[in-house]
Amino acid sequence: MLYTSTTQLIGQTPVMSIAVPNRDAVLVLKIEKNNPGGSMKDRMARSMVLAALEDGRLAPGGTIVESSSGNTGIGLALAALEFGLRFIAVVDHHAAPDKIRTMRALGADIRYVEGDFREDEVAVVERQRMAAQLGAQLPGALFMNQSDNPANPDGYAGFVDELLGQLPEGIDAFVGCVGTGGSMTGIAQRLKRINPAVRTIAVEPAGSIVFGQPGHPYYQSGTGTPQGDEVGKVLDYGCIDEGVQVTDSQAFETARYIARRKGLMVGGSTGGTIYKALEFIASGKLTGAVVTPVADGGEKYLGSVFDDGWMAERGLLDPAVAARLDAWLTAEARAA
């Protein structure tokens, strides 16, 4: 098929299995970093723009405004190009520099929030405030507000349809990260409609407040809800069987491990979902086909997660994580 726009390349991402020795389970990764913007957020970004154009909230030639740590912003920048729109991305210091460079390369107008924030503090509240203000003040502008936008979870229908075709023997569990809650809700709701027995596990960073734990700063980007912010209205707790937390060290060390052992570069939040999925499998709590998305690629985090100096300076290196992963993934370690 000959495509005529970049956003037509969204979807139909491949799957890759990782065997777990001596367990009645296989970990299946859906490689969402193969979307044109490099993440699964491309799906919901286009969905939100289409919905806004169709119902008249956004007019041709108008301006999209959104608060983003990068991936949603890249997806919106692509959608803006397709539909002849302007895009303003409101970001903070927590966004990976390469994501900001990518948005700018795609024509986005980058606006940084002001304020004195810790390096490991996500300034979501100030980002949202500034984005809402710009959306209200600028003629023809619309604040997309992905956290409360129903077109966010709706954008993941294709993800589930693809999975069903790729795994005809069935899906037994889904493990995904939860930030705004859009991807977790959109995917889990649809999987549950098809098979209510599917286990759904949502993973947030330690320090996030989605599941009622005490909030504190964390380094994981584009996932979780930081202290002081509100959990997105798109999140449906009813479709989630269990919410768990993963530490920065567990998430980042797993991403590094997968790169070095499997040759697959995954982002930090994906490292966290892989770690928790394997932990559940090792404990016998999950069996069968356990799916987790590669939400984005590690190529966007070469200066942080994959930089030994950056990790060491922040006390995030933890060799025990790799040893634990070896024990879960190698028959030799398990036998020893």
Q: Supply the range of the domain harboring residue 130.
A: 41-143
Q: Give the model's pLDDT for residue 120.
A: 66
- Residue 335 has a pLDDT of 43
DSSP string, 218-248: ----S-S--TTS---TT--GGG-SEEEEE-H
Residue 253's nearest CA partner among 208, 320, 329 is 320
Q: Among this protein's residues, is 41 annotated catalytic?
A: yes
Catalytic pick from 41, 99, 276, 300? 41
Give me the pLDDT at residue 45, please.
Answer: 97
169-217: pLDDT as tens digits = 999 999 999 999 999 999 999 999 999 999 999 999 999 999 999 999 9
Q: pLDDT tens digits, residue range 307-328?
A: 999 999 999 999 999 999 999 9
User: Does 275 fall in a domain?
Assistant: yes
Task: Name every residue whose Cβ is closer than 8 Å to that of residue 35 and which is 6 or more positions away in sequence.
Answer: 9, 10, 11, 13, 42, 43, 75
210 and 196 in a single domain? The answer is yes
- Cα–Cα distance, 34 to 12 (Å, whole number): 9
Nearest to residue 93, comparing CAs of 125, 117, 63? 117
Q: Are residues 107 and 248 in the same domain?
A: no
In a domain, 333, yes or no: no
- In the chain, which stretches have pLDDT less than 50? 332-336
Q: Are residues 185 and 279 in the same domain?
A: yes
Q: Give the pLDDT score at 331.
A: 64
Give yes or no for a contact between 240 and 184, defined as CB atoms under 8 angstroms apart: yes
In whole angstroms, what is the distance from residue 89 CA to residue 100 CA? 9
Domain of 82, CATH number, reads 3.40.50.1100
Q: How many angstroms separate the CA atoms of 330 and 98, rounded?
A: 34
46/14 same-domain check: no
And the tokens for 75? 């997806």
Dihedral sign for Cα 215, 120, 181, 243, please.
negative
